[in-house]
Chains A and B, each alone.
Chain A
């Protein structure tokens, strides 16, 4: 595996399960055990009811493009090798909105409302990044 030079995730105690699952190619959504809220991004307490009784549920890994941009320039230099790339807000079927890249496609083919599914990139021995691709 070639050395991954872009910034790495920094797992916190409350986000560690997300990254550990991602490493095993599973997409977890933090969930409040008291009010059932689906929480993104992972936090120490529920943003809806302030409970700290939180757990995790596995997502289907599918959703729709809410909006996107094709980035041609202006990002941090380490990402320039990826130009042009798609940065998107994706509404997962479970009801949370996440930010990610849509990969393995011609960026010009991406449109709002398209179906996407998660694809994991093994970037080093510790991390796999959850990205998305267009669903055929």
Chain B
């Protein structure tokens, strides 16, 4: 949790309402921060290290900047499209993903991504989280740094910080957050008012 404090469901529900139904602890805290990655070709990576995170596939789709013009304000179809396309390009399935790193500025989008990526059944995203499947030791560990809600949101840097965590998980450098036998990770991001989604697949090796 932000500021290294624990947070219970009761704490969230007791916190003041900001804009219904979002309580204070369901809104991002703006934060300062930075992230950096060393990027190189797959061939050079092999020369440099035996622990690299390989970019396998990526898909991106645009919806609409203006919320009144979106047929679907939660952008479910766009989320579904990018997750499906990225997995198809990688020749992998959602079951091959050992960690899911879904950027979601507010909690509802985490549930949407779980559902639209196929990680859980339609309309069961919130229950999937509640049952602990996305927690450490669960069948689909997700958002291993606690998402922007917990680590703070610093604009574009929050997306790059996701990529850093993906690299750490695949390189076995995630410390207490390390998911055992992590071979593949799906990471998603979105921009602006939520007008686009991007899904990427990374692996400990190339397929």
A-side residues, CB < 8 A to B, are 40-41, 67, 69-74, 87, 89, 96-99
Contact = CB atoms under 8 A, between A and B. Distances in A.
Given A74-B27, A89-B73, A99 B19 contact: no
Nearest to A87: B19
A41 B68 CA distance: 9
B112 to A, nearest CB: 15
Q: Interface residues of B toward A: which range? A: 10 to 19
Contacts of A69: 19-22
Interface of B: 16-22, 27, 66-69, 73
A90 B27 CA distance: 25
Nearest to B68: A97
A89 B68 contact: yes
Contacts of B21: 69
Listed residue (B18, B20, B22) with the most chain A CB atoms within 10 angstroms of its CB? B20
A16 B16 CA distance: 40
A5 B39 CA distance: 50
A70 B18 CA distance: 8
B16 A41 contact: no
A67 B73 CA distance: 10
Contacts of A70: 17, 19-20
Contact of B67 (A71, A72, A96, A99): A99
Nearest to A75: B19
Contact of A72 (B18, B68, B69, B73): B18
B16 A98 contact: no
Nearest to A66: B73
B93 to A, nearest CB: 34
B75 to A, nearest CB: 14
Given A67-B73, A89-B73, A74 B68 contact: no
B16 A72 contact: yes
User: Top 3 nearest A-B pairs by Cβ distance?
Assistant: A70-B20, A71-B19, A97-B68
Nearest to B21: A69
